[in-house]
Amino acid sequence: MRVCRNSQAHRTGGINDVADAAIIHAPIFQDAAVLLVAAGVIAPILFRLRLSPIIGFLCVGVLVGPNGLGRLVGAFPWMEAVVIADQASVQALSEIAIVLLMFAIGIELSLERLIGMRRLVFGLGGAQMALCGLAIGAIAYAFGNPLNVAIVAGIALGLSSTAIVLQTLTEQGKFARPVGRAAFGVLLFQDLMVAPALIVVGFLGGAIGTFASIGAALASAAIALGVILVVGRQLAGPFLRFVGSARSREGLVAASLLIILALSMTTQAFGLSAALGAFLAGLLLAETEFRHEIEHDLEPFKGLMLGLFFMGVGMSVDPVAILADPLWAPLSAVGLILLKAVLILALGLVFKLSRGAAVELGLLLGQGGEFAFVIFAAALQGNILSPEVAEFMLLVTGLSMVLTPPIAAFAGWIGARLDRSQAAPTAPDPMLVQDSEGHVIIAGFGRVGQMIGHILDTQQTPYLAIDLDAERVAARRKAGGSVFYGDAGRADILKRMGLDNARAVLVTNNDPEAAERIVAAARAGNPKVAIIARARDRAHAQRLAALGAQEVVHETIEASLQMADLTLRALGVPDDGARAIVESERLIERLAWAEETRLANGQAGPAS
């Protein structure tokens, strides 16, 4: 009996532990519900109103954060259900959002293209950090701050928000335009400088003692980047091919996230930012045949995480603190934006940007950045900043980020007015010319697709091929083919293959159902593109034509005609005669097929 009682007590204790754990973790579900309401309700409403979802997430963050309705929970306990209970968890997920955003940017680039942007990254980006940092630091010093505080302020407030600016450029469709390329170059250099900035803060706070220590830290970081790029290029492709051979979409997503996580942890271990590691992961995966599939599968995660990031930024703004001093904090935020905008405008003109693009670039990059929070926290921990100064600087940074979406809208308008060509560039930048323009898409790269690709190569006609056989794709890419892994029946994958600008889509897939999905997706994505499809039989050909294929090649008919040609020649019929007989039968078959198609479409009258 004693054993039974102990077992009963043990079971009861276990149940109580589970219940306690459920109670403890209940706020997680509550916070998730608030986020999903923002993502699923508020964002669509703002989209219908033609407003940026960023504004919605920022406002929701201010409203439901601890500095908004959270202040009223003590007086009204029921309001706990509509506020974010754990801001720390939101901030942790916000870091994941930045990581996914940088990965998405990296996978849209390539190492070669990044090297081609070195003038913008290291030239414009380096000049921006130096000029803005010196100006902000000088102003802080002029206001009576100690030199070490002024240096921290210059470094931190010289940074801009990668997440907000890149998301704004994406929403406005300007990422590939001059202002988008310049902004990305500056932001990338800023991300590269986060690690040196933290090292400098540690030096100012006494955590890093000598300049030799700083040099050693920078050297180890540079070595880490080199090792990641060299080793990663050798391992990423084979690893993804191994996973892709199982044709598991979930496995490919898991493998991609593992690579992102591994490189982010590696860069963090060497004192660099996790976002930089994710960006390197994107660069490495951009060189593989899986880039389009991965990019599509991770897109929803990035959107949700970014929404959470913007909510976290909104939570950092304290309306009560602003109301306590309604002029100083807002004026400081506006002054920061105007100062950086003027300096970046001047740099943009020096780097040959048009007047409109330079103005827009300055206003876009005028705010403080998410990494400023990290630098200010490190300075506070190192006793460089007092809590009051740190809180004020964080408030100014957060407020400047909240002001960015409406300023970005104004920047686009004024930039277009100053430079009409900004809205419609007349010539593509040779550094960023996409392969996917005026090309042919081959869906299915088996024997038929490879033969067509070979013929297109002989005619110097560009093509992109897509296939779900990972081993086949790897082999053809190793031979120099423009082949990618992915499902051509998915509209977003076709779009990433350049469907909008494609001259033709060739469906060589030998799976009837897959071929029908591909034809339907291609026709829905581009009503004008020429679609030529391979059909197994006459019934299959009818379905493909009904879905939008302009030309259909019957496997059985073409095979029988070729065999008939060879048979006639074997029986002694001259080559020209055999060819004429077969061509006559092919013409009869094509006329019959045209008549059947016309009847199937409900059109009367004989074929002409």
Q: Characterize the bridge pairing of strands 483-485 and 504-507.
A: unpaired
Domain 87-419: top CATH class: mainly alpha
Q: Tell me the range of 17-21, 360-364, 443-447, 542-546 where mean pLDDT is highest.
A: 360-364
Cβ-based neighbour number of residue 407 at 10 Å: 18
Q: What is the pLDDT of residue 127?
A: 94
Q: Identify the weakest region by mean pLDDT among 212-216, 440-444, 563-567, 601-605.
A: 601-605
> What angle is formed at CA 76 by the lines to CA 73 and CA 80, rounded to 5 degrees?
45
Give the tens place of pLDDT for each residue, 89-103.
666 666 776 777 678
CA distance 139 to 135: 6
Q: What is the pLDDT of residue 507?
A: 92
Give the tens place of pLDDT for each residue, 340-352.
999 999 999 998 8
Q: What is the pLDDT of residue 607?
A: 43
- Residue 506, helix vs strand vs coil: strand
Q: Which of 375, 368, 344, 371 is closest to 357 using CA atoms?
A: 344
Encoding tokens for residue 168? Answer: 């704004």
Percent with pLDDT over 90 in the chain = 12
Rg (CA), the chain: 30
Whether the pTM exceeds 0.85: the reply is no
Cα first-last separation, the chain:
96
> What angle is formed at CA 383 by the lines to CA 309 and CA 210, rounded to 5 degrees?
100
Q: What is the pLDDT of residue 608?
A: 40
Q: Which of 5, 116, 28 is closest to 431 using CA atoms?
A: 116
Residue 289 has pLDDT above 60, yes or no: yes
Cβ-based neighbour number of residue 118 at 10 Å: 12
Mean pLDDT of 38-55: 68
CA distance 592 to 589: 5
The residues, ordered by sequence, that sit 6+ positions from 178 with a Cβ below 8 Å of its Cβ are 353, 354, 357, 422, 425, 429
Domain boundaries in the chain?
A: 2-82, 87-419, 435-549, 555-608
Q: What is the mean pLDDT of the chain?
A: 77
Q: What is the pLDDT of residue 346?
A: 94
- The CATH homologous superfamily to which domain 435-549 belongs is NAD(P)-binding Rossmann-like Domain (3.40.50.720)
Residue 437 has pLDDT above 60, yes or no: no
* Sequence-separated contacts (24+) of 166-169 with Cβ below 8 Å: 166/101, 166/105, 167/54, 167/101, 167/306, 168/52, 168/54, 168/364, 168/404, 168/405, 168/408, 169/364
Whole-Å CA distances, 427 to 356, 433, 436: 17, 10, 16
Mean pLDDT of 505-530: 88
